[in-house]
Chain A
């Protein structure tokens, strides 16, 4: 099956991490679903169109195996096909739902920044890890309100997303000082709050996020520094409720050392996990668009706000297999 160029482009950009960050990945996936519907060149037949959209969904979901926001966004759009009775209606539904998802996503980030900023006391120093748009929005808002006076941000090897965070925060005028990842415990004494984003929130409240997050949280806990995770509801993982383990992706060693070095040193294996798991006991609160949540109550969001995805995973833990059931 062939897909429109724009869809392939987005899928590829997600795969190569040109598009990164759970929120951006989700919005881009919704956008790709919409483009796929608009550029559909097949037969104007409901069954054929549904089949085509499921295949687009599969293509998108398979680009990053661990980003839960990706299947959540895709399923949100895909389920709009359930009610459709004609081809035109189906196509319109996809566009409407995709737009709604993107709109809600931006609104969620705005709402989280409002709620999250309030949790930070005046004159505080915040530490953040990696690059999370949502975390940056919380910090920037807190800065405007006089709550944050300075930010330490980790450079976040191997990809150095910390440089992006630095520029992003500077754009809002926030004073930022970058530190190497190894200096997290060294600096923690000066820090009042840790604010990070999330890639995935599991049903028991553990947070899957950029490698290093769990040791930032550990060092914060040791220093009695509060840890806040800013996460939109579509980062909560329905699959974890049925016991699925979140797979941790290992990426190319060339992100860490050069190809030349690798070929000279075949005896050294470079292990490059992208994410780690921060246990709920190291997290003081998850800030969602619905409000502040103790991590252990993550299940509430899953049942009340993502219930529609739960229906569809009852039968199978394989997300790709589920995609077909969603539209039935």
Chain B
């Protein structure tokens, strides 16, 4: 049994997926590699359909595989891994420049991009106070608080409901993202849009730390970002829920969509850009807009046909 993706951040899934594929690629059997690749793709589409970084990585790997087979694939995968690693650090580095000593920042969940931002702030010797929301469902904020504590920051842990209460004490908000849409909206841990709304109300700047790999090309053509919901167990609290009503019903959204007007800038590996300028960024990367990007669905149909037809 593979462990569930749920506790992983989008970027952690990228590394985990590449690492597993490298192992399989080393076996040097195209059929077992394609099988693993398809399995990864299908699982991500069910469990993490909004995790664009891993979907874009899979798109890249599938394109390479369709074109070259296993030839040079291990090297390609290793290169992809270090490229992603570098762009994530770079995006965090660019975000870190927006923070000055003495500021109070607020963040949520436990995104790898934010962890790296905190690490860089520490390395830069910036004295920052960090407010972190618990981030139910999942309470990943507690893990981030532990990490921030280990770096030696002054850390404040608050419940998700207390965001607006503390917003007036905050200087800036930093969040990670699962996906960036073509209009500059971002998909992130549920509650992010509420944080951004409260920040906007209090005239506090909101920064998203996300490499361009998180861009959802499908949204250019009108595809809606998929925002999955989870099951009830995700919110239960064993010590308080002994007497839960028998017909207890809940909806547990895992992500929400923050509109571009509540985001001041996205820190990418290319620089800090307004969310609405995403198409411009893509044009400079790919030379045209819309960029030519192969369809995930078609790529995987091709692979299925070739190796499992």
Contact = CB atoms under 8 A, between A and B. Distances in A.
Nearest to B135: A182
Interface stretch (A38-46, A118-126, A213-221, A298-306): A213-221
Contact of B245 (A157, A170, A267): A170
A276 interface: yes
A182 B190 contact: yes
A272 B156 CA distance: 10
A60 to B, nearest CB: 27
Contacts of B221: none
Contacts of B250: 155, 177-179
| Chief secondary structure at chain B's binding surface | mixed
Contacts of B148: 268
Interface string A28-62: 00000000000000000000000000000000000
Interface stretch (A8-16, A100-108, A184-192, A284-292): A184-192
B198 A268 contact: no
Report the contact-size class of chain B (Cβ under 8 Å from the partner).
35 or more
A17 interface: no
B209 interface: no
B162 A271 contact: yes
Given A178-B250, A272-B159, A155 B235 contact: yes
B161 A212 contact: yes
Contacts of A276: 161-162, 164-165
B161 A215 contact: yes
Contacts of A163: 240-241, 244-245, 248
A183 B256 contact: yes
A214 B164 CA distance: 7
A157 B133 CA distance: 12
Contacts of A158: 159
A218 B165 CA distance: 12
Given A256-B159, A268-B149, A218 B164 contact: yes
Given A180-B235, A268-B149, A268-B155, A185 B251 contact: no
A143 interface: no
A156 interface: yes
8 contacts: A155-B136, A178-B248, A180-B137, A180-B160, A181-B136, A182-B191, A184-B194, A256-B134
Interface of A: 152, 154-160, 163, 166-167, 170, 176-187, 210-212, 214-215, 218-219, 222, 248, 256-257, 261, 265, 267-273, 276
